[in-house]
A and B are shown apart, each in its own frame.
Chain A
């Protein structure tokens, strides 16, 4: 274990600061003799928690990583848990964050704020507990406030904050399945009852051809787009999924007494297809139906 750290530790003084991190990773081992000087100078980093003596690597002396071109060693740091400070194109501090995988968090920031996120200082804390991570984050945040006289914009309350805290879009919710896919003969209830159950137990249900992410028909696509635009939470049932929804394509037409697909149900009631949804959306009635204001 110690050997695996040796190459990193063997680098010249400029990198030695970062080496403290690696010694931390190796804490059960005694410091490498050749590196004793650095390690002593920095003091052992297993004391990351509560940082009154400043054992933690200071923000200002941590090298800035250009996120579009990290070196292999920097990339390795991004794979670890730790604290990170994000800088814009003019090297102005924007946000101090904490992550179980710094690189993933930085990617997510870069996705939501592509024009802002340019570089970062990273303090990897591979074995730190949650509390230790939080303490390190507090220390860096305090240092940045001391240095700039203000809270980084992404950490300060206000409109900018949301963009830093919004998580990357989650994987789309899977389509609802009416049956486990073992065929109709194993069912104890009819498909109509399953449909009835689905539309009554979910606020908004869209029966479409295809899936959320790849609708197989222009009208289904339109319905999903309108629901997305209305920012309503909705479930999707794929009528083409014969395995899980056998016969639904015809059953739903009879059930709703509506000859075409897509079909949208809100609060257990059939609302209509793409044309109706489009008009309800245009008039604002769609949002009102889902979330009545009065």
Chain B
């Protein structure tokens, strides 16, 4: 079973310096997660590319995840402005 921590670690491992917030939205089943990521790596990238970076980070555990919702993919500048 995938835990919130597994998701957080997988993203942090691929996107260094990323600030990651993970919430299990499947009532603790480990099959659905809501993810918020703030990372410098997003700089200069379109939303689609940012999401693809996160998806790529989760590639290995994705087969065990049914639902993944990336509700935030911000650069640190965006996060500071919000």
Q: Could you list which residues of chain A lie within 8 angstroms of chain B, going by C-beta atoms?
A: 217, 219, 257-260, 270-276, 279-280
Q: Are B51 and A219 in contact (CB under 8 A)?
A: no
Partner among A257, A270, A275 whose Cβ is within 8 Å of the Cβ of B70: A275
Instruction: List 20 interface pairs A-B (beta carbons < 8 Å), by A numbering.
Output: A217-B67, A219-B69, A258-B52, A258-B55, A259-B55, A259-B59, A259-B68, A260-B67, A270-B48, A271-B48, A272-B47, A272-B48, A272-B51, A273-B51, A275-B51, A275-B69, A275-B71, A276-B48, A276-B51, A279-B47
Per DSSP, chain A at the interface is mixed
How far does the alpha carbon of A272 sit from the alpha carbon of B69 in the complex, in Å? 12
Residues 20 to 75 of chain B near chain A (Cβ within 8 Å): 47-48, 51-52, 55, 58-59, 62, 67-71
- Chain A residues lying within 8 Å of B51, measured Cβ to Cβ, are 272-273, 275-276
Q: Are A259 and B69 in contact (CB under 8 A)?
A: no
Closest to A270 in B: B48
- Chain B residues lying within 8 Å of A276, measured Cβ to Cβ, are 47-48, 51
Q: Are B67 and A219 in contact (CB under 8 A)?
A: yes
- Chain A residues lying within 8 Å of B52, measured Cβ to Cβ, are 257-258
- Chain B residues lying within 8 Å of A274, measured Cβ to Cβ, are 69
Closest to B34 in A: A275
Closest to A260 in B: B68
Not counting A259-B62, A272-B51, a sample of 6 additional A-B residue pairs whose C-beta atoms are within 8 angstroms of each other reads A219-B67, A257-B52, A259-B55, A259-B68, A273-B51, A279-B47
Q: State how many angstroms separate the Cβ of A225 from the closest Cβ of chain B.
A: 15
Q: State how many angstroms separate the Cβ of B27 from the closest Cβ of chain A.
A: 14
Q: Are A259 and B58 in contact (CB under 8 A)?
A: yes
- Chain A residues lying within 8 Å of B71, measured Cβ to Cβ, are 275
How far does the alpha carbon of A270 sit from the alpha carbon of B58 in the complex, in Å? 20
- Chain A residues lying within 8 Å of B55, measured Cβ to Cβ, are 258-259
How far does the alpha carbon of A271 sit from the alpha carbon of B67 in the complex, in Å? 18
- Chain A residues lying within 8 Å of B58, measured Cβ to Cβ, are 259
How far does the alpha carbon of A280 sit from the alpha carbon of B47 in the complex, in Å? 9
How far does the alpha carbon of A259 sit from the alpha carbon of B68 in the complex, in Å? 9
Q: State how many angstroms separate the Cβ of B36 from the closest Cβ of chain A.
A: 11
- Chain B residues lying within 8 Å of A260, measured Cβ to Cβ, are 67-68
Q: State how many angstroms separate the Cβ of B47 from the closest Cβ of chain A.
A: 5
- Chain A residues lying within 8 Å of B48, measured Cβ to Cβ, are 270-272, 276
Closest to A271 in B: B48
- Chain B residues lying within 8 Å of A219, measured Cβ to Cβ, are 67, 69
Closest to B63 in A: A259
- Chain A residues lying within 8 Å of B47, measured Cβ to Cβ, are 272, 276, 279-280
Closest to A217 in B: B67
- Chain A residues lying within 8 Å of B70, measured Cβ to Cβ, are 275
A-B pairs, top 8 by smallest CB distance, nearest first, are A259-B62, A275-B70, A272-B48, A259-B55, A276-B47, A275-B69, A260-B68, A275-B71
- Chain A residues lying within 8 Å of B59, measured Cβ to Cβ, are 259
Q: State how many angstroms separate the Cβ of A279 from the closest Cβ of chain B.
A: 6
How far does the alpha carbon of A256 sit from the alpha carbon of B35 in the complex, in Å? 21
How far does the alpha carbon of A97 sit from the alpha carbon of B48 in the complex, in Å? 51
